[in-house]
């Protein structure tokens, strides 16, 4: 009996692996739209999918980003300037994309644009500090999705939302984590709503990657700017050496950062081309081994492990 059970489990494992490797038949007639292509994941995705033969429409925030991308890709790739927080810009872009794709519709929408905002303790921040990353990472993503969705439904295509392990676990203070938690919720409701239309929706959850988004110099500059505006009471609680100590911890975290951005693009590729795309893709060793498993653990264990990573305050009782 045990032999048959073992054989059945091996067969199931083989079929499950085989299922994930089945691909769509043709990609050369398919259009995909990617946001945030100036640098990082979006830039690499645009170049990679262009080489594979997709008709890539790459949205960049800056003219310089658009020009640089066009110089590295084929004539097939198109770029468009897009600020995802500008509703009129998004509407005009969606109409332009509709004219480009025609009756074929849009096979893939990759919502990749995002910013970290200010990463700092909660009591340092204002509502505006929270608003900026939420406008880009959440409302910008929703705006692009709603405007492009008719084209994706026409193609019975794919929507891929780039979230983060920060959407599963509150690692840092600031608007980044709330925005990514909300992206996860939007992604799940969208996935269920689109199932009847034959549209697959996937969520990509990268761990810590070395990109411009996580540049420690920029993170520190923003922290220093906010520190200068803090009240004397808060400065006394945290201590004058707090930022230097937190920077040392941040430098220590760099050793855990994933260097290979193609790991994220490979997940985008699977979500775009597999006959059976996954609903969630955890990317990076840190995400798979630490962050995602920890997100399923009791809060007391999460707090214990995450608080050990935080910088100690000089005098928290000075209130």
Query: Is 176 part of the annotated catalytic residue set?
Result: yes
- CA-based nearest residue to 225, from 114, 127, 129, 309: 129
Residue pointed to by tokens 């007391």: 300
Cα distance between residue 149 and residue 143, in whole Å = 10
Residue from 156, 155, 146 nearest 105 by CA: 155
How many CA within 13 A on the CB side of residue 52? 22
CA 279 to chain centroid: 14
Helices (H) and strands (E) in the chain, counts: 14, 7
Find how far residue 97's CA is from the centre of its chain: 22
Residue pair 38/80 in contact (Cβ under 8 Å)? The answer is no
DSSP state of 75: T
Catalytic residue among 176, 181, 238, 281: 176
Q: Which residues are catalytic?
A: 176
């Amino acid at each position: 009996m045990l032999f048959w059970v073992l054989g059945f489990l091996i067969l199931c494992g083989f079929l499950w692996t085989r299922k994930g490797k089945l691909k769509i038949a043709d990609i050369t007639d398919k259009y995909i739209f990617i946001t945030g292509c100036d640098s990082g994941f979006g830039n690499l995705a645009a170049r990679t999918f262009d080489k594979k033969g997709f008709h890539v429409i790459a949205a960049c925030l800056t003219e310089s980003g658009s020009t640089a991308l066009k110089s590295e890709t084929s004539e097939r790739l198109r770029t468009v300037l897009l600020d995802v927080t500008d509703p009129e810009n998004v509407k005009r872009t969606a109409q332009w994309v509709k004219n480009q794709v025609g009756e074929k519709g849009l096979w893939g929408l990759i919502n990749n644009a995002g910013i970290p905002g200010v990463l700092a303790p909660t009591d340092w921040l204002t509502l505006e500090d929270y608003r900026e990353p939420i406008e880009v990472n959440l409302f910008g993503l929703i705006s692009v999705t709603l405007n492009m969705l008719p084209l994706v439904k026409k193609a019975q295509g794919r929507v891929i939302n780039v979230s983060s392990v920060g959407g599963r676990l509150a690692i840092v203070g600031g608007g980044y984590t709330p925005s990514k938690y909300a992206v996860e919720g939007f992604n799940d409701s969208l996935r269920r709503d689109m199932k009847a239309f034959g549209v697959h929706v996937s969520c990509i959850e990268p761990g810590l990657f070395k990109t411009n988004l996580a540049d420690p110099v920029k993170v520190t500059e923003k922290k220093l700017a906010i520190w200068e505006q803090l009240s004397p009471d808060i400065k006394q609680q945290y201590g004058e050496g707090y930022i230097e100590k937190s920077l040392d911890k941040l430098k220590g975290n760099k050793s855990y950062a994933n260097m290979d951005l193609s790991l994220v693009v490979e997940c985008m590729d699977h979500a775009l081309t597999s006959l059976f795309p996954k609903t969630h893709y955890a990317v990076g060793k840190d995400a798979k081994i630490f962050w995602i498993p920890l997100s399923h653990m009791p809060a007391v264990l999460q707090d214990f492990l995450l608080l050990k990573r935080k910088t100690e305050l000089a005098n928290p009782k000075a209130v």
